[in-house]
């Protein structure tokens, strides 16, 4: 798998020829930022986990147009994330989905990941599909199911996922349930909730003491009338009832249009129940678009609340929350798309770090609405890209990851090695 490694010298060579222009821009920018060294440190430390299922083309129910060279195995998925991490030094973890990514040999998989400097982020369970050898169907739900035996199967699966995670050194489990109903009358909401809670409690009991469980919510799809973990309120209820190791996971694409996600984030943080994120963007429903591609201001406002709330609670920006991407690509090269997503997240984070908190707080206390808006927008409208690029350069990454990816013909090389008709495992 030698082509998967982007040699250090290639990155250095690239950076050298791009450096003069970069330095010019950086100097102009940091002239007005007193604490820019501190911001750079935070940017360097910030890591965003890449989902194993986003490395191939997704598609819609109408079709799929694979681009070729997609990873065919867990090893190749790890190699792809390693490649992203080599380019941007901000993608130092992979998030696995079971059974799409069952490791055959834990030691080998761990060693391979370590070679690329990757950790194993949250493990994901899957009770939204029927697997070929599965005894009972999830057609009418998994943890909410009317039949206790189906619920047990879903619980057992989650416990098995935890076991895989323990072997790999992961520290969290994300549970996303597609459970719900398609038509009014199909489901007793209260019973569905209670059954789901009971099932989650059984999984919770199997969690190691240093693990977290993330309860992900989603407004709709694949169920179109009700979802049993449908919004942050329901997720918060489950997480509260489960206990201290349970948290809410916010997938940006899982809200009804125009939901005030930044406010949700702020209050979850206040309650100590915000576990982490699935970053993406969406225009209509959950379409897992590139983070920051549709509503970059919203992404900034979310990070603004995150930085404010984490600092108020003295949380560690890098370690205390789970930062993950959840994405699906229909028309772009998945690796380029992921580079764009990571970049958008870093930009929003950097802008949030620029917000003059003292001044904002004063404006809020004085009901100076216009001033408060000026402060936020001054940060949002600052082009922080040179700062993000500088952090990347200092960490050993490329000044412009996509440009380097293209100039090295990485995709063509991957197609040469893996073929043009590859089907990644998973969705
Ligand atoms: C589904 O909509 C959710 O976002 C989940 O996080 C899911 O496990 C993931 O997208 C893989 O399908
Ligand atoms: Zn998600
Ligand atoms: Zn989703
Ligand atoms: Zn998603």
Dihedral pair phi/psi, residue 266, rounded to 5°: -60, -45
pLDDT tens, residue by residue, 82-92? 999 999 999 99
pLDDT tens, residue by residue, 44-61? 999 999 999 999 998 888
Task: Note the pLDDT of residue 4.
Answer: 60
Give the Å distance between the CA of 251 and the centre of ligand 2. 5
DSSP secondary structure letter of residue 284:
S
Dihedral pair phi/psi, residue 32, rounded to 5°: -100, 5
For residues 332-347, give the mean pLDDT: 98
Task: Note the pLDDT of residue 418.
Answer: 95
Ligand 1 lined by 166 (C-beta under 6 Å): no
Whole-number average pLDDT of the chain:
96
Closest protein CA for atom 1 of ligand 1: 176
Dihedral pair phi/psi, residue 321, rounded to 5°: -125, 155
pLDDT tier, 1 (very low <50, low <70, confident <90, very high otherwise): very low
pLDDT tier, 426 (very low <50, low <70, confident <90, very high otherwise): low
Owner of token pair 């697997």 = 131
For residues 206-216, give the mean pLDDT: 98
Task: Give the separation between CA 291 and CA 302, rounded to whole angstroms.
Answer: 12
Task: Give the separation between CA 206 and CA 152, rounded to whole angstroms.
Answer: 13
- What is the predicted ipTM? 0.97
Q: Which listed ligand is nearest to 178 at the C-alpha?
A: 1
CA distances from 213 to 131, 204, 328 (A): 23, 7, 23
Give the Å distance between the CA of 337 and the centre of ligand 3. 17
Would you kindly state where each structural domain of the chain is located, as residue ranges? 47-348
Owner of token pair 């407004």 = 219
For the whole model, what pTM was predicted?
A: 0.97
Q: Are strands 226-227 and 180-181 parallel, antiparallel or unpaired?
A: antiparallel
Ligand 1 lined by 76 (C-beta under 6 Å): no
Q: Are strands 93-95 and 49-51 parallel, antiparallel or unpaired?
A: parallel
Q: Which residues pair with 94 in a beta bridge?
A: 50, 120
Owner of token pair 């893996």 = 418
Ligand 1 lined by 216 (C-beta under 6 Å): yes
pLDDT tens, residue by residue, 130-171? 999 999 999 999 999 999 999 999 999 999 999 999 999 999
Mutual angle of helices 296-312 and 261-270, in 10-degree steps: 10
DSSP secondary structure letter of residue 147:
S
Task: Note the pLDDT of residue 244.
Answer: 98
Query: Which architecture does CATH list for 47-348?
Result: Alpha-Beta Barrel (3.20)
């Amino acid at each position: 798998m030698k082509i998967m490694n982007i040699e250090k010298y290639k990155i250095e060579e690239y950076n050298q020829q791009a450096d003069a222009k970069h330095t010019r821009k950086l100097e102009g920018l940091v002239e007005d930022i007193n604490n820019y060294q501190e911001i750079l440190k935070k940017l360097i430390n910030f890591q965003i986990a890449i989902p194993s299922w986003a490395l191939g083309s997704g598609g819609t129910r109408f079709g799929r147009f694979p681009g070729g060279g997609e990873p065919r195995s867990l090893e190749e998925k790890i190699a792809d994330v390693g490649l992203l991490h080599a380019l941007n030094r901000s993608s130092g973890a992979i998030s696995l989905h079971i059974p799409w990514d069952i490791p055959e040999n834990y030691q080998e998989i761990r060693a391979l990941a370590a070679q690329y400097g990757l950790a194993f982020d949250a493990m994901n369970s899957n009770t939204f599909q029927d697997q070929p050898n599965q005894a009972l169907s999830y057609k009418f739900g998994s943890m909410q199911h009317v039949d206790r035996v189906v619920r047990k199967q879903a619980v057992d699966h989650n416990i098995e996922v935890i076991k895989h995670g323990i072997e790999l050194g992961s520290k969290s489990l994300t549970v996303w349930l597609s459970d719900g109903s398609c038509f009014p009358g199909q489901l007793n909401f209260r019973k569905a909730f209670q059954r789901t809670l009971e099932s989650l409690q059984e999984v919770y009991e199997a969690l190691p003491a240093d693990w977290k469980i993330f309860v992900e919510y989603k407004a709709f799809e694949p169920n179109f009338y009700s979802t049993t973990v449908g919004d942050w309120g329901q997720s918060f209820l489950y997480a509260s009832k489960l206990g201290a190791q349970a948290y809410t996971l916010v997938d940006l694409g899982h809200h009804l249009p125009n939901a005030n996600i930044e406010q949700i984030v702020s209050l979850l943080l206040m309650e100590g129940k915000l576990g982490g994120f699935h970053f993406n963007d969406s225009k209509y429903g959950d379409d897992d678009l590139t983070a920051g591609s549709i509503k970059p201001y919203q992404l900034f406002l979310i990070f603004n609340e995150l930085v404010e709330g984490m600092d108020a609670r003295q949380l560690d920006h890098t370690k205390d929350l789970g930062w993950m991407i959840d994405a699906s690509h229909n028309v772009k090269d998945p690796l380029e798309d992921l580079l764009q997503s990571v970049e958008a997240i870093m930009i929003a984070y950097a802008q949030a770090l620029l917000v003059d908190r003292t001044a904002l707080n004063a404006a809020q206390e004085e009901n100076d609405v216009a001033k408060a808006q000026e402060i936020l927008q001054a940060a949002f409208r600052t082009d922080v890209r040179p700062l993000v690029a500088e952090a990347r350069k200092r960490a050993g990454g490329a000044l412009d990851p996509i440009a380097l990816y293209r100039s090295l013909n990485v995709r063509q090389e991957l197609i040469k090695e893996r073929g043009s008709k590859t089907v990644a495992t998973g969705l």
